[in-house]
Amino acid sequence: MVQADTTTDNSFLRGLVDIGSNGVRFSISSLHPSTARIMPTIFQDRAPISLYDAQFTGTTKSPISEDVISAILVSMRRFATVCADFNVPPANIRVVATEATREAQNSQDFRDRIHAATGWTVELLTKEDEGRIGAEGVASSFNEVSGLVMDLGGGSTQLTWMVSKGGKTRMPPAAVSLPYGAAALTKRRETAINDEAIAQLKDEIKSRVATAITGLDIPPELSDYAADDGGYTLYLSGGGFRGFGFLLLDQHPIQPYPVPIINGFKAPGSAFSDLADFHLSSETTRRLDDKFRISDRRARQVPAVAFLISALVETLPTIKTVIFCQGGVREGALYERLDTATRAQDPLVVATSAHAPRDTAKIRELLNYALPRSTPYIFRSEIVPALANMLIYHSNISKESRPSCGLHATTTGILASAHGLTHETRALLALALCERWGGEVSDSNLKTQLEDLVGPEFAYWARYCGAVAGVVGDVYPAGIVGDVERLRFFAYDEGAVVVLKVRTRGGDERAEAVMVARGIEGLGKVGKKKKCREGYRRKVALIWGRDLE
């Protein structure tokens, strides 16, 4: 299978160092035009050095110590050698630093030392730039964003609103920065002298947040929609919030939770607030470390984050849904450099396009004709284009393994690292790919969990799309449709029944072979009771004519 090579031309490679308050992140990404929207990561690592903690002993602030600077310089020089190994052009390496460096007593000396050791100039982000770039990272994390955005760093929390659609992002000129980062809040709680001081801290947070919300001047399109929809969507970014997100994953009703990726994880506002008074036990800390590789230090910050969330819940407008994002300053620093047309691309379609067969556009059209009007929009807009791209990807794998490989493709397989996908789209495409290859897996637990995640209606349509794709793949196993029409679909709703008309060319071996005929006949079984989850079922009335000319 031919796949786009996005790394041969090293001019598209970007090295990035993000010197944050809780750690130093290193990454190499490709901005090759074919996949720039999802900013594929070629290398990433993190030095677990907290510049915030390094500057505080109790409540006394001090300069960044020589030991800490030396440790960071060693990590920097290591990354320089890694960039050389990957042939990243020196001009394409960017170093950005945020609040902990900006506020350090010896900030200039620290940055000068980095320049002397590596030749790299540290770009010291202003408070406003840090908020803007972090918000761009959130925008990069999804096809569309509409709601409130919070980015929790080590020293501060950024609060803003955002509407991102069609490659264009609207937000206030500057996010509101509040001095309640995960590390800062942990330290303030630990040094509080009594419960009264803790209560005063909470009142302080609530007052600052209330003032911030008033000053954000949220546009009517967001506030009116929230009023009609039962509340705002709140997008959360930053390591502290992600740690709390993994806790929500751990507490989710579906266990084990089937998507081990924090970006795109969605929880109702009620679940978010229910955990606000959470008290971390040593057992939970150990479980978070074992399941999600959450460090002991990050886990210890969870109670402080829960404390912040408790104050937010009591102060913010009603929150209907909380969505966690991987994107932050690192992702925003890349995403802000992309043009509008690239930013407007659908991440799921881009992520799968490298694997597309020659006639993917014709295959997409075929699949769409098999969808009746009642099909949920997400299948036409995202799942079908991605399914067309992935139609033959697993064809070189043994027949018995193909359904399982399709089922795992979006969580631990070829698409696991794709940036910008929600858990819903990952689950739907996985279920469709599984069914495209027959749907039979040796261990049905993951399949059941993914179906539980998307609900019975969407699980049905994913299975339906996958079954149709299986027929298309049988007729066109190389993904080459050509000029001779061999297969045509037409579907419509007749009450609760999906009427699916299939037309093939009579006497054509492509459509008459026994394995193809079996697949077409199987389309009528998609709606059988034993295949449908409780709560949603649509029978399929199959009409097969061999009258194409």
Q: What contacts 255, CB < 8 A, 6 or more positions away?
A: none
> Are 15 and 92 within 8 A, CB to CB?
yes
Backbone angles phi, psi at 27, to 5 degrees: -155, 155
**58's tokens:** 């109790």
pLDDT at residue 362 is higher than 50:
yes
Mean pLDDT of the chain: 92
What CA–CA distance (Å, rounded) separates 206 from 163?
25
Please give the distance of CA 323 from its chain centroid, rounded to a whole number.
Answer: 10
Average pLDDT value for residue range 377-381: 97
What CA–CA distance (Å, rounded) separates 72 from 57?
20
What CA–CA distance (Å, rounded) separates 177 from 156?
7
Supply the pLDDT for residue 302.
78
Per-residue exposure over 58-75, b if at least 16 CB sit within 10 Å of its own CB, e if not: eeeeeebeeebbeebbeb
What CA–CA distance (Å, rounded) separates 337 from 96?
14
Conformation bin of residue 220: beta by default, left when phi > 0, alpha when psi is -120 to 50: alpha
Question: What are the Cα distances from residue 489, in Å, to 411, 437, 500, 543?
Answer: 31, 19, 7, 10
Element (H, E) at 17: strand 13-19
Supply the pLDDT for residue 6.
45
Q: Is 445 helix (H, G, I), strand (E, B) or coil?
A: helix
Q: What contacts 509, CB < 8 A, 6 or more positions away?
A: none
The amino acid that residue 315 corresponds to is T
Q: Please tell me the chain's helix, strand, coil percentages from 3-state DSSP, rounded to the nearest 5.
A: 50, 20, 35
What CA–CA distance (Å, rounded) separates 63 from 60?
10
pLDDT at residue 383 is higher than 90:
yes
Average pLDDT value for residue range 119-137: 93
> Are 258 and 411 within 8 A, CB to CB?
yes
Q: How confident is the model at residue 194 (pLDDT cuts 50, 70, 90)?
A: confident
Q: What angle do CA 96, 99, 103 make, to 5 degrees?
A: 115
Supply the pLDDT for residue 281.
61
Question: What are the Cα distances from residue 539, in Å, to 372, 457, 530?
Answer: 13, 13, 12
Supply the pLDDT for residue 1.
33
**Considering only 122-136, 272-286, 331-345, which range has the smallest mean pLDDT?**
272-286
Supply the pLDDT for residue 422.
97
**Considering only 358-362, 401-405, 543-547, which range has the smallest mean pLDDT?**
543-547
Q: How confident is the model at residue 237 (pLDDT cuts 50, 70, 90)?
A: very high
Supply the pLDDT for residue 153.
86
What domains are there in the chain, each with its CATH number?
10-125 (3.30.420.40), 129-330 (3.30.420.150), 347-548 (1.10.3210.10)
Percent of the chain with pLDDT over 70: 95
Average pLDDT value for residue range 381-390: 98
Q: How confident is the model at residue 284 (pLDDT cuts 50, 70, 90)?
A: low
Which one is predicted more confidently, 508 or 455? 455
Average pLDDT value for residue range 132-155: 94
Is pTM beyond 0.85? Reply is yes
Q: At what angle do helices 456-475 and 423-436 cross, to 10 degrees?
A: 40
